[in-house]
Amino acid sequence: MRQFGDGSAITHGPTRLAERALGPDLARGAMLLFIALANSHYFLTGTPRRGGFPLDGSHVDTALRWLIPTFVDGRAFPMFGLLFGYGVAQIVRRQEDLGRPQVRRLLWRRAAVLIGVGLLHGTLLYVGDILAAYGVLLLVGAWIVWWRDGWLLLLAAVMTVMVGMPSDGSLATSTDVPTAAELPPDLLTILTERPPAQAFIALLGPIGFIAPFCVGLWAGRRRLLERPAEHRGLLTLCASVGVPVAILGAQPVALALSGVIDTPSTATLEILGPIHDATGVFCGVGYAASIALLATRLKSEGPIVRALAATGQRSMTCYLMQSVVWTVVFTPFLLDLAGTLSVWGVALLATGTWLTTVLIADLMRSRGVRGPFETLVRLITYRGLR
């Protein structure tokens, strides 16, 4: 065991559960609800549609077509990208006494297992998998983790601007219906349609995560989420600016999807969709800062906080469990409910799925059991280290 310059002890292996900070785990656990809400509605097949939502339905459906684009779609994933970068910074900090070549090799191992699990997950369960994209991002991230702060923040700013450039590729305004890769009619389609679709997502997905990843690296160097009481002013600024900017940036799309305003022209949507996506980066920062500040007020963890933190500690496992539900419920040769459920029905399903994973994670916590996929990542990443 060694010590950092600030006197904190380190070991060569992963952080023990008892040593983990509450803020990041609480953020992961709570935001997995938003991940469930974001992923599930894209399976619905009703038309006309936009942004992954059928545009008919009840008043509750209409309200959800405003709420989800405003607070969830394109907002939760940037926060996880930030936390991913933050976690990488933690790994580097704990392992820096081994020398940079050792740390880079460790990060490459982690990237390899994320790519492997992600590609299998995307082929067998959920073609929108982001784990493989994280792995590809980490292959590059292993080279930029020692960049100076200014270069990290500059890259984050440039990529945010690029995401916000006019384009017809925003999911927030897309009229596309689910593809055969998403709703395969048979096993053969799974094996033929999903691998190329997943490879495409894995290679292009990192573009949308680079900005929050770089911000996460920067924040991790300063331990902002681990020591929120020491950085209250900065976190308050991030929360009070990031979330409102994201809410405002979402309104043109959210109001159109909910029918409050007429749907803009195609040319206008090609501007508004990317703005929706780019402001989501601000929301990811704001959400992470808000939950870190909340963690400072939770002096004694109650059962709800413990359960959410346990879910965050097993976020990869819980994320994969969600995909099992989507597969069973929406696959045409299984329950085939993609054309039956409404927007509110899918939101209820997503919430129930998340609550179930929270209960399972808390049960695992009470029995001292790590998540199986977290264990797999740790075994491969730290194999052979002393």
Q: Is residue 166 part of a domain?
A: yes
Structural domain boundaries enclosing 68: 18-381
CB 365 within 8 A of CB 374: no
Residue 287 token pair: 């959400």
Per-residue pLDDT, 10: 41
Among 45-54, 254-263, 296-305, 366-375, name the one with the lowest average pLDDT. 296-305
User: Residue 382's pLDDT is what?
Assistant: 83
pLDDT band at 209 (very low <50, low <70, confident <90, very high): very high
Span 219-276, pLDDT tens digits: 999 999 989 989 999 999 999 999 999 999 999 999 999 999 999 999 999 999 999 9
1 falls within a domain: no
Lowest mean pLDDT among 135-144, 250-259, 358-367: 135-144
Bigger pLDDT: 8 vs 105: 105
pLDDT at 1: 38
* pLDDT class of 47 with cuts at 50, 70, 90: confident
Q: How would you label 127-140 residue by residue, b for 16+ Cβ within 10 Å and e otherwise?
A: bbbbbbbbbbbbbe
Question: Using 50, 70 and 90 to split pLDDT, how confident is the model at 7?
Answer: very low
Domain-embedded: residue 7: no
pLDDT of 93: 87
Q: Is-contact 37 68, C-beta < 8 A? A: yes
Number of domains in the chain: 1
Give the pLDDT score at 203. Answer: 92
**Average pLDDT, integer, range 145-166:** 94
Residue 5 lies in a domain: no
Instruction: Please tell me the distance from the alpha carbon of residue 306 to that of residue 17, in angstroms, as a whole number.
Output: 12
Q: Is residue 264 part of a domain?
A: yes
Residue 57 DSSP one-character state:
S
The most confident of the ranges 8-12, 29-33, 106-110 is: 29-33
| Pairwise CA distance, residues 218 & 89, whole Å | 8
C-alpha closest to that of 50 among 168, 137, 192, 157: 168
Helix H or strand E encompassing 9: strand 9-10
Tokens of 342: 């409404």
How does residue 22 score in pLDDT terms, banded at 50, 70 and 90?
confident
pLDDT tier at 15, thresholds 50, 70, 90: low
pLDDT tier, 95 (very low <50, low <70, confident <90, very high otherwise): confident
The reply to whether 373 falls in a domain is yes
Average pLDDT for the chain: 90
Tell me whether residue 11 is in a domain.
Answer: no
Judged on CB neighbours under 10 Å (0-12, 13-18, 19+), 294 is middle
Percent share of the chain, pLDDT over 90? 80
Whether 12 shows a pLDDT value over 90: the answer reads no
Give the residue-averaged pLDDT of 137-141: 91
> Omega into 48 within 30° of 0, i.e. cis?
yes
Q: Is residue 4 part of a domain?
A: no
* pTM for the model: 0.90
Q: Let me know how long the chain is.
A: 386
